[in-house]
Structure formats: C-alpha cells, structure tokens
Amino acid sequence: MNAYSLYALQRDFADALFDAEDDRILDHLTGDDAALKRKRLDIYRNNVFYSLTDALGDLYPVVRRLVGEEFFRATACAYLQRFPPRHAAMVHLGEEFPQFLQDFEHTRPLAYLPDVAGVELAWHRAYYARDAAPLEVTDLHGLPPQELAAGRFTLHPSLQLLNSVFPVLRIWQANQEDSAAEETIDLHSGGEAVCVCRPGYEVLMHRLGPGEYRFLHALRAEVCLGEALAAAQDLDPEFNASKYLAQCLTGGFFINIERNDHA
Amino acid sequence: MTSAYHQLPPRSGLGLKAKHYRTVMDDSPETGWFEVHPENYMGAGGLPHRYLTEIHERYPLSMHGVGLSLGSADGIDDRHLNTLRELVHRYRPEALSEHLAWNRFDSVYVNDLLPVPYHEESLRVFADNIDKAQETLGRPIMIENPSVYVGFVDHACAEPEFLTALASRTGCGLLLDVNNVFVSACNLGFDPCTYIKAVPPGLVGEIHLSGHAIQLIQDTEVRIDDHGSPVKQPVWELYEFTLRHLGRYIPTLIEWDTDVPALHVLLAEAARADAVAAEAKRPAQQAAMA
C-alpha cells in the first residue's frame, strides 16, 4: 500500500490545475528541478483551460466578438475557476455563463452582455434539444372552437423564450460570422423579446411583439389557448390572435394539443 | 482475421469531425471506418445525431470515449456511464474504447486525460472501473495508452506491463496509440521500441496515429500530443516497427483534432498508413517463404 493514495494524488493534481500556486503534487513527480516540473504541469493546465475556453468560445461567439479574444479568455478562465465543468460532455458546458457575466466585476458594467449570452445559450440549447415533429395545421382541423380554446399546447422541446430591455436579437444578428453589416446599434433603442425554436434541423430566431411574448409565456405556464390569447390581447391591442396562431404553427412551436374533455 | 475486441475492417479509418459531415455525406470518401468521441453526441437530438446516423449507415463506427475517467480513485460517474450505454445501444458501434487516464476528481471534470502512477492500488482502481464499465456496456472495451508529460516517483511498473496486467484481470483489449508511445518515450526518456516489444500482440485491437508538437522548456525538448499536424517521420517508423512486432494488420486511425484540415489531407494520411502497413507485411512474408 502506498503512503500517498491515488485519491490524494488526484486531489493534489486537480488542485494544482485550478490553482497554479498549489504545488503539493510536485513532490510526487520525478525530477530534481522544481521549475521544470512546474512547467511540465503547466502543459496539463494549458490543455485544460485552452480546450475549455475554446469550447466556451464556440458556444458564445458573439460575446467573444463583442469583448475581444483577450478579454474573453481572461473572463472564461475566471468563469471556469468559479464554475468548473460538472460533465464530461461539452454540451453542458457554460450554462451559468450568462449569470456569471452579470455578477463578474469586469463584465458587470456591460449590462447588455448577459442577455446577449442568454440568446447564444438559447440557440445552443435549441440546437441540441430533443427532436420532435411539430403539430400541423391539419391536426387542428375538425376541432370545435370552444374545444380549441380550452386546449393546452405542448411547446416544442427546443423552444426558448427571452425578454430583454436591450435589442439583443439585433446585436446577435449583427455579430454573426457571415454578417458584413457595420451597423451601430443604440443600446437604448428599445428592448426585444425573442423566441428560439428548432422544428427541423435549423435553429430559427423569431422577434416577438409584446403580445406574442405574453402569449407564448402563458402557454409555457400551461395556460389554455383561450386564456393565453386573451392575456396577449389585454396587454397588446395590436396582437392579432388568428394570424399569430397560424404563425406559431408555421414556426413549428407546438408538438401537441392536450384537449380538455370538460370543456 | 476476427478480433475479440471489435468488428472493424482491416484497413485505416478517420476521426469524424463536424466540419467534414457535409463532405462525407456528399462524397462518400473511400475510407474503412470512422471514429467519434461519444461525448460529442451526448446532446438529446439535432444535426449531430442525424449525421452520425446517416454516416454509420455507410461506414463502420468506432466510439472512442474521453470522459469515463477509468482511473478515478472514487469510481465511475454512473450518470456518464449510463449516457454512454444509451449511445452504445443506439448506435451499436463496431469498436468501443476508452483511456488509461482520469479526467474527473470529485464532481469536477477537467477536459484532459491525466496520468496515474502504475502500482498495485492504481491497477485495482482501473480493474474495478473497467469491470463495471464492461458489465454496464455489455461488451469488452479497448484501453488506450496515454501521452504523458510528467513521471511519478511512485511508479512500480512500466506502462506495457501495467496494461497487460489490466487486460488479464478484466479481459479488456488494448488500443495502442503509437504517437503516444513516442511522445511519452521522448518526455520520460525510455526507448519506444522496448515499450512496443513488451506489448502482447494478441491484446491489440486498434492503433492510433497522429501528429504532435515540439516545445522547448528550459532547453529541454518536450513533445506535446496536440493532434494538430501530420504524423511525424519517427512515428511512421515506429508504426512500421509496431506492425512487424504484432505480426498482423491492426485497424489504424488517423486522429487530427486541432486545426483540422480539409478531408483530403486526412485521406492522404490514411493512405500513407495503408502504404506503411503494406510495407510492414512484405519482409515478414518473404521470411515465411524462406
């Protein structure tokens, strides 16, 4: 039996990766030159932080573009120290990043940044969400109006809703890799609500009016169709119920309607 | 020749990269098989699964895990193992492999393959974890030798002996990464050919080849296994030496994971691997006839 258990070795190795000052592991590595051993350990530390920062940058390319590569790398390192990965699969990496940007002292002044990150996280979640066939208009044919109004739509598993006081979708669109626009966006030109959905294999972004957001938000809370439409109209007189319902169906926002048999 | 560890065809294969999905679908390039990291398919749905499904309809598939942390002293993460099992049941890959490494401590995952000292305790840890993995996955897996940058004072045996003991305890096979042998040999100062000669030929089911980088650290040359360039000449030579030692062809993968080039560059590397394999066969046949 070794005096130094494998568990202790892995603890010390992992601690050294996340804290360069922690060098308890060095005594257990071969070689007499402590500086050289530290540098060999740096190879692992660089591998870990570089690969994770790259993965985080792939998830948040717009945030990276907005703050610049160097600032992004420093922010990502601070984030990874605060929220080290809890899964081996990269699909779960970065879920706390929007919240972190809001709290981190160096990004706190960039008030719009967490919401832009929220759009990117929504896109990422939609991209990897469970596949599901959207409900078709024909699925609703023959349903009496009062039954339709009492029904509850099941939203598509990829559907995400966001509401920001900043023009987040315009910012997101202007900063896509293939966007050539050198548009200047006034941060105070009005907020935007966004619906992100992937009915097929392409993630689609929809800008929502206030009534439309209210409507989808109500459906998310499992409110029946009639009440959700009424809530949207109360908030937004311009909300056109039948037109928007048709748009939702075209957008593949629903996968099922649960009929209320007591209606 | 059939193998107890896989059903891959006797020719080279390629790592499947997302940027090549469309080219592979459109051109159906001539290659024996594709390999993926199952961790990249642990999302619930979307394009990655669609492409992998369609590509697996045309090519044999190898799943090469990087996240199971078989060397973790506190055991395997059941959540990860179960997700892997679902993928293995869904795709039924022709080969399944993992690493002689760890990448998790407590609940934290580090995105790298970290080494362990080779001694009785680590052998027991790996054996227990591999037993559990093989039982859950319902099939034997192959274990890949890591590339290492540090040596441990507690090492009690050499890597090939450790792998051999592990195979005899668990029934796992070996995935011999020839580039990793070369990289570790340079970094730790052992002879790569001595290493290869210590590997029992019957245990090897798959070979990996890739490029590596060279860094100078305090005037010491350190080889970094970055999978970001063509296979280096001494690694090609070690590959030929390996095939001669093993005495038969072993399905060989070209890995290229950073700065991934166009698909034709990977195909050219794979063709070179096939040419080296043909070369390795020749004198052995002449010797047999003589």
Q: Per-residue DSSP letters for A69-88?
A: HHHHHHHHHHHHHHS--S-S
Which chain A positions have a beta carbon within 8 Å of B109's beta carbon? 84-88
Angle at B65 between CA B63 and CA B66, to 5 degrees: 150
Q: Is the pLDDT of residue A94 over 70?
A: yes
Token representation of residue A24? 């308890």
Q: Residue B286's pLDDT is what?
A: 52
Say whether A28 and B112 touch across the interface (CB within 8 A): no
Q: Tell me the pLDDT tens digit for each residue of B57-114.
A: 999 999 999 999 999 999 999 999 999 999 999 999 999 999 999 999 999 999 999 9
3-state secondary structure (DSSP) of residue B222: strand
Q: Is B138 on the interface with A (CB under 8 A)?
A: no
Which chain A positions have a beta carbon within 8 Å of B49's beta carbon? 131
Token representation of residue A210? 């206030």
CB within 8 A of B180, min separation 6: which ones? Answer: B144, B145, B146, B147, B208, B225
A117 contacts A95 by C-beta, under 8 angstroms: no
Q: Which residue has the higher pLDDT, B267 or A181?
A: B267
Taking the complete model, does pTM exceed 0.90, yes or no? yes
Q: Sign (positive/negative) of CA torsion A82, A84, A89, A90?
A: positive
Kindly state the average pLDDT of the residues A175-200.
90
pLDDT averaged over every residue in chain A: 95
Q: Residue A1's pLDDT is what?
A: 52
Tell me the residue length of chain A: 263
Separation of alpha carbons B56 and A36, rounded Å: 45
Kindly state the average pLDDT of the residues A151-159.
97
Say whether A6 and B43 touch across the interface (CB within 8 A): no
Please report, for residues A88, B184, B226, the alpha-carbon distance to residue B148 in angstroms, rounded to integers and kept in the order given. Answer: 20, 5, 12
Phi and psi of B116, rounded to 5°?
-130, 160
Pick from A212, A227, A247, A211: which is nearest to A134 by CA?
A247
Would you tell me the crossing angle of helices B233-246 and B178-188 to the nearest 10 degrees? 110
Say whether B45 and A128 touch across the interface (CB within 8 A): yes
Say whether A14 and B119 touch across the interface (CB within 8 A): no
